[in-house]
Amino acid sequence: MSMTDLIPAEEVTKVFHILDADRSGFMEEGEVKLILKGFCKDGRALSDKETKDLLLAGDKDGDGKIGVEEFTALVAEC
């Protein structure tokens, strides 16, 4: 069972738009670095390595950022 089996797709999309702080339609490196802070007030920033690893895992088209479809696919892998 994946996260998308538990969370409706529209909710995953809402989370993406919350994390997309600059409203560009993509999560760039700076936004990915702060992803844990988006879920918890005591969340920490990811390390540079963790940020790069998450970008590599989520960025399927190689443009250096994560779009909403890529984010949804990444959540589905959890």
42 marked as binding residue: no
Residue 61 annotated in ligand binding? yes
70 annotated as belonging to a binding site for a ligand: yes
CA 22, 28, 70, 4 torsion-angle sign: negative
Q: C-alpha angle with apex 71: 8 to 10, nearest 5 degrees?
A: 25
d(CA 18, CA 10): 13
24 is in an annotated binding site: yes
Is 26 annotated to bind a ligand? Reply is: yes
48 annotated to bind ligand: no
Q: Residues within the annotated binding site? A: 20, 22, 24, 26, 31, 59, 61, 63, 65, 70
Q: Residues within the annotated binding site for Ca(2+)? A: 20, 22, 24, 26, 31, 59, 61, 63, 65, 70
